[in-house]
């Protein structure tokens, strides 16, 4: 494999990983927001259920905060859902 081809493949893989990661982050945020809205919960009410500040819930939904697994689990429980992680 030529050196330039290797660099191009590395760049493509890096770009694909970044796009795939961004897709999953957006999908997760939309699922959280959709579940909250379907239950007619305000961010403040979800905050009270989960112990996560309303400001952090707002940041998660707007994509300016990346939640930890612990935080995701608390959000899921507060929404009456179960967090399920899969490795593919």
The CATH number for 54's domain is 1.10.260.40
Q: For residues 82 and 41, what is the distance between their CA atoms, to the nearest angstrom?
A: 18
Residue 33 structure tokens = 């927001």
pLDDT single digits (tens) 64-81? 888 888 999 999 999 999
Residue 16 covered by a domain: no
Structural domain span for residue 52: 23-78
Residue 15: inside a domain? no
Residue 32 burial (CB count, 10 A): 21
More confident residue, 22 or 57: 57
In a domain, 14, yes or no: no
pTM above 0.85, yes or no: no
Number of domains, the chain = 1
By the 8 A CB rule, do 80 and 39 touch? yes
Average pLDDT over residues 7-24: 64
Residue 69 in domain: yes
Is 6 part of any domain?
A: no
């Amino acid at each position: 494999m030529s050196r330039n081809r290797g660099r191009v493949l590395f760049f493509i893989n890096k770009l694909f990983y970044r796009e795939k990661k961004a897709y999953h982050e957006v999908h997760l945020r939309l699922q959280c927001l959709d579940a909250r809205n379907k239950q007619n919960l305000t961010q403040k009410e979800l905050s009270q259920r989960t112990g996560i500040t309303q400001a952090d819930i707002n940041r998660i939904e707007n994509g300016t905060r990346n939640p930890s697994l612990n935080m995701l689990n608390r959000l899921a429980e507060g929404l009456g859902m179960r967090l399920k992680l899969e490795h593919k």
